[in-house]
Structure 1
Amino acid sequence: MGVGEIEGASFRVEPLRRVGEDSVTMRARLQYQSRKRGILESDLLLSTFADVNLGSMSKAQLEQYDRFLDENDWDIYYWATQSPADADSPPTSTKAEAGRSSGRGGNSGGDSGPVLESGKTQTQSQSQSGEWAQTIGTFKPAYRPVPARWKDSEILSLLRKHVHERSAGGILEDVKGVEAGSKGTGLGRMPEVKVFDSSVAAFAGSINPLHAKHSNDVEKNEQPDEAIAEKAWLVDWDGPADGMNPKNMSTGRKWSIVVILAFGSYCVTNTSSLYTTTYDQVDAEFGNSRLVATLGLSLFVFGLGLAPMVLGPLSEFYGRRPVYIFAYTGFFIWLIPCAVAQNIQTMLIARFFDGLCGSAFLSVAGGSVGDMFTKDTLHSPMLIYSASPFLGPGTAPIMGGFINSFAHWRWSFYFLLIFAGVVLIAIVLFVPETYMPVILREKARQKRKESGDSRWRAPIEVYEKSIASTVGRSMYRPFMLLFLEPMCFALCFFSSILLGILYLFFGAYPLVFGHVYGFNLWQTGLTFVGLSVGMVVAIMSDSIWRKHYARLMDKNERETGERKSEPEFRLPPTIVASWFCVLGLFWFAWTIYPSVHWIVPIIGTAFFGFGIILSFSGTFTFLVEAYPLYAASALSANSFARSSFAAAFPLFGRQMYTAMGFHWATSLLGFLTLLMAPFPYLFFIYGKRLRAKSKFGST
């Protein structure tokens, strides 16, 4: 029977799922569930297994073990102790249900065994049937095959290995990595209860029990008394309802923080493209060429991609709030020389450092959203935040078109200074620290101050990491993923082309709509409404993709018996969106004629905007789930590649449109996206096989 099914009942009892449970609490609960099964054999088997393995399990292994414990106790016992060879030999009795009515330990009649169908009784010296007989006589139960949902399970593999290593007689002869016929110490005694703390969780994921020797596992768990005493002074949450835990903030406060962070991200990316509407006035005042002016856009965007690898890791040591305040203050300050620049050199230098500071904010802000919301409630706030950096570039030309049509170009930066100043004040006043290790460090300081006992420590204070080594890893690992992982490279290359095209349009739109339709600056700015509308529609389609994701989960559960997500389930939005991008570009390319109404090519750009948002959304979530241990590096690789392309494309866009013509220049961009469009579908089909061969990916 499956999990939650009851013999003779038509309904199914779904197991209780804990939401927002930290790994320390989860280990303690799983230890209790392993010791209190209600059947002696299972108690001994699972308690000794948990004693050896629970402390070194990763988060994914803990979740798998949690689901495994929902199975029937006798199923777990037989799956762990029987070999496939047992399937070929008959059981002692073919009547599996015999003896059930008599109960464990005999019937009401005294010393006699269970009553058989004939009315006679069996004595303890005879071969007896049913689960009642497992502790007496010589009984061979029927073989219970392992269901498909657990056949290749890492947890079951560990459990079978544990049985073989601890078995005094060597029950299993087919366990990989264990010498056949080896003798163990037995499973006759339940181990002492262990106390798990945050320090164990800090190391979870770095140890793979499948590749560790049993002696090493014992050494990890047999720690000196001093180490155990030291861990007793580690500070953790005061239960799941701890008020200092950011996940326990009120819903209203969480969403207010999300809104502030979203506006902060929007302001940074809005600054990148609003500058493009100042070209005409800046060129005339400073006497520079259009190419030199475009460098102000490219340097800003390049700075956006560079900072996450250098400044992003600092939040691991100092928390998110100091990075917010430091980075956004720098972003605000570097807007000032832009506003008062007397030459193009000052403008270019200030733009680069402005992008660098703004990027440090962008690299950390998404982490705060993840800090505050549980996995079940994360999707909507993360969608709002993730969309804001892409709405910024799309809407900036609309505002900039009106500002620079009716005011001096410096008012573009005065507007941005006011916008950034308001956001900075909101960050200082209303955005608290949300990074949990840093909050626990502050909690430890409070305990030391209140108690006068200096032994209180937070995990981050005990297990110090080097800032230099952390930043070093964050700089080289993204490039390893980018160039050694085919899926990461292809998806990053595709998303880079899309963002490069978006930034190329900031120079191409004035050229196209000015020559073909005679639009002035503010009218050209309004043509970006098509892109913005497409992006908003993509955000509103989120519920459709969530339902499709749920259907894929249901299908996977029917096929494997386990409700488990695969990274490839995140790719359908990208699969569909890639063809919307292709359609939008070719639509725009071949409708920009004076004889065709200007609304028609703008509708084509809406398809492109729709595709960009969904492409990025699916790509980001896929990279996070496909490379869970290196998610930050995968996203940094994507950010660096996207920013590099977005910085480079505007430098040749205007020349390309002039040399090739508006139609074929846009068609070339369409052919580039057409070349990359099949890759998301190929990864949806073959991604799991590629991950199995990957050095960095999940399996």
Structure 2
Amino acid sequence: MSTFRKWVAIVVISSASLCATCASSVASFTEAGEAATFGVSKEVAILGISLYVAGLGVGPLFVGPLSEVYGRNIVYRVSYLLFLIFTFPVAFAPDIGTFLAFRILTGFCGSAFLSVAGGSVSDMFANEHVANPMAFYTMSPFIGPVLGPLYAGFINQNTDWRWTYRVQIIWIFVEVIMLFFVRETYVPVILKRKAARMRKETGNDKYYAPLDRRNQSLLREIVVSCYRPFELMIYERMALLLNTWTALLLGILYLTFQAFPYIFEQNHGFNVQTTGLAFLGLGVGIVIGSLTQPFWNRIFARESAKYNGNPPPESRLIIGMAGAILCPISLFWLSFTTYPAVPWIVPELASIPFGMGMLFVFNAVFTYLVTAYRPIAASALASNSFLRSSFAAAFPLFAGAMYDKLGTVGATALLAGLTTLMAPLPFVFFKIGARLRQNSKFTTR
């Protein structure tokens, strides 16, 4: 596959990931409309976010094995078609039960792009070239939750909340069409199809691919996929701690969907659509962070030269060190500038370093998991997806109570303190990670 076609595939897969994650955050701006339409409390309406994100976390445990048997493309296309179909009952739900049931189903269907897509990136690019495409892909699922409030705020300020999901249906339909222009990237499936074609053309049954000789059933693959991510986190301290770090950051991102109304509506008098615009700071930070990738590539090239072109996976954690510093600084800055007397632009600017730091952390952890656990990269990414989605589903549920009890300063400072506790991880693992991997049955040496 040419470099151009590879990047076309990366763009399409990333935009589909953007759409799937954007669908999670738009629900934060439809809560008031849902509560009024269905006659439920705000706490029940918040489940629209939590259940969708829970679906995003559980889905990779099942779709990962399917992609390794049938290929990436069939999983993408089928899951996105179901994503499209199941979004209709969300947009036209007659009651809260239907709405919530199909929110978790749409989350499940959209989850393929949070685990399988990372596999597609590693399929197409070797270790020494994977940084740029992985950085591009890593940006998309985090721009998604930030993009959602930007347009959902305007929709819900000016028209019925259901239009939020009707717009989503149009976007998903466009993505479904684009996915049919992406070629298969999973080499074992490509070889299987080539062997089948050669058997048909030559009539010689001796042509076969490794997948043709699989002794393990698909059901067993799914069972293994469901327990291996947990096995990995139980036995691998690095994987567990790095996954917990990313889970905390994503939980904080999803918590902002409840926190920003406290900070900008109550303290600065913003309305719904301008509160949505307050998420621009996070988006700007993510974009700025992505533009620094050439700088990090040069650093990685120097690391690669030290090891004769075969650097250890720990070299991928260097970018995470910057993120480990930026995230606590951003949250402490935000926490102590949330007073009404402080101009709104000051806390808005404080969110920019958090967007940058979050991108750096996820870039480091994703590429580390893919390179260090390459034999089971799908399981490693699935373990990360499950844990971070669990945090992201839970954090919005207690955000309101936390901000009511502690206030905007205390609650945000508490989050800053938690990120400070996790900050040493990339520095520690950069030093001792290689030694820890020597005793691992999962990692590459």
What residue is the counterpart of 1:474 in the other structure? 225
The one-letter amino acid of 2:35's match is D
2:365 to 599, 616, 619: 619
Amino acid at match of 1:385: Y
**Candidates 658, 667, 677, aligned match of 2:423:** 677
- Whether the 8 Å CA contact 2:116–2:378 is kept in 1: the answer is no
SS at match of 1:447: helix
Alignment correspondent of 1:456: 207
In structure 2, the residue matched to 1:357 is: 109
C-alpha separation in 1, matches of 2:444 and 2:123: 23
What's the counterpart of residue 485 of structure 1? 236
The amino acid that maps onto 2:26 is L
1:285-434 → structure 2 map (5 Å cutoff): 285-428=37-180, 430-434=181-185
Corresponding position of 1:256: 8
Alignment of 1:509-548 (within 5 A): 509-548=260-299
The offset of 1:686, in angstroms, is: 1.8
Letter in 2 for 1:418: I
Tell me what 2:439 maps to.
693
1:419-467 residue CA offsets vs partner (Å, 9 max, x unmatched): 0001101112x12222222222222222222223333322211234321
Q: Which has the higher helix share?
A: 2
Give 1:668's aligned residue: 414
Closer/same/farther in 2, CA of residues 624 and 377 from structure 1, 3 Å limit? closer
The Cα of 1:311 is off from its aligned counterpart by 1.7
Distance 1:442 1:630, change over 3 A: closer
Cα-to-partner distance string for 1:157-216 (whole Å, 9 max, x where unaligned): xxxxxxxxxxxxxxxxxxxxxxxxxxxxxxxxxxxxxxxxxxxxxxxxxxxxxxxxxxxx
* Equivalent-residue separation in structure 1 for 2:241 and 2:39 (angstroms): 41
Q: Distance in 2 between matches of 1:536 and 1:328?
A: 26
Q: 1:296 and 1:630, CA in 2 relative to 1: closer, same or farther beyond 3 A?
A: same
Instruction: Determine the C-alpha separation between the residues in 1 that align with 2:343 and 2:291.
Output: 28
Give the residue type in structure 1 aligned to 2:39: G
CA offsets, 1:43-81, max 9 Å, x none? xxxxxxxxxxxxxxxxxxxxxxxxxxxxxxxxxxxxxxx
User: In structure 1, what is the equivalent of residue 375 of structure 2?
Assistant: 629
How far is the alpha carbon of 1:259 from its aligned partner?
1.5
Cα pair distance change 1:264/1:563, threshold 3 Å: closer
Please tell me whether the aligned partners of residues 328 and 361 of structure 1 are also in contact (alpha carbons under 8 angstroms). no
Query: Contact (CA 8 Å) 2:330, 2:352: kept in 1 or not?
Result: yes
Describe the superposition over 1:223-282 as per-residue Cα deviations: whole angstroms up to 9, x where unpaired.
xxxxxxxxxxxxxxxxxxxxxxxxxx3333322222211111110000000111111111
**2:405 aligned with 1:659:** yes
Distance 1:691 1:442, change over 3 A: closer
Who is 1:499 aligned against? 250
CA distance, structure 2, for counterparts of residue 641 and residue 580 of structure 1: 22
Extract unaligned runs of 5+ from structure 1. Answer: 1-248
In 1, the alpha carbon distance for the partners of 2:202 and 2:229 equals: 44
| Paired AA for residue 491 in structure 1 | L
Aligned to 1:564: 310
Q: CA deviation at 1:671?
A: 0.7
Q: Does 1:602 align with 2:348?
A: yes
Q: Which moved more, 1:274-283 or 1:644-653?
A: 274-283
Q: Aligned-pair RMSD on alpha carbons?
A: 1.6
Matches within 5 A, 1:571-610: 571-610=317-356
2:389 to 627, 638, 643: 643
Task: Quote the Cα distance in structure 1 between the aligned partners of 2:199 and 2:440.
Answer: 46
Kindly state the Cα deviation for residue 595 of structure 1 after the two structures are TM-superposed: 1.6
Aligned residues: 445
**Which residue identity lines up with residue 331 of structure 2 in the other structure?**
L
Q: Distance in 2 between matches of 1:351 and 1:660?
A: 31
- After TM superposition, give the deviation of residue 391 of structure 1 in Å: 0.6
Alpha-carbon distance, 1:374 to partner:
4.1
Alignment match, 2:194 = 443
SS in 1 for 2:357: helix
Letter in 1 for 2:254: Y
Q: What is the CA distance between 1:474 and its match in structure 2? A: 1.3
**Greater displacement, 683-692 / 522-531:** 683-692
Determine which structure has greater relative contact order: mean sequence separation of CA pairs < 8 Å that are 6+ residues apart, divided by chain length. 2
Residue pair 2:319, 2:364 contacting (<8 A) in 1 also: yes
Encode CA deviations 1:540-585: one digit per residue, 9 max, x unaligned: 111111111222233x34xxxx443112111111112111000010
**How far did residue 294 of structure 1 move?**
0.7
Task: Indicate if the aligned counterparts of 2:247 and 2:389 stay in contact, CA closer than 8 A.
Answer: yes
Residue identity matched to 1:497: L
TM-score, length of structure 1 as denominator length: 0.62
Secondary structure of 2:206 counterpart: coil
CA distance in 1 between partners of 2:258 and 2:216 (Å): 45
Which segment drifts farther, 413-422 or 317-326? 317-326
Measured in 2, the distance between the counterparts of 1:372 and 1:632 equals 15
Preserved contact between residue 369 and residue 378 of structure 1 (Cα < 8 Å): yes
SS at match of 2:342: coil
| TM-score of the two chains, using structure 2 as the length reference | 0.96
Aligned-partner SS, 1:667: helix
- Distance in 2, matches of 1:487 and 1:378, equals 21
Query: Structure 1 residue 375: deviation in Å?
Result: 4.2
Contact between 2:115 and 2:385, CA under 8 Å: does it hold in 1? Answer: no
Structure 2: segments with no counterpart, 5+ residues: none
CA contact (8 A) 1:570 1:622 kept: yes
Aligned to 1:22: none
What percent identity do the matched residue pairs reach?
Answer: 46
Deviates more, 1:338-347 or 1:452-461: 452-461
Distance in 2 of aligned mates of 1:446 and 1:549: 41
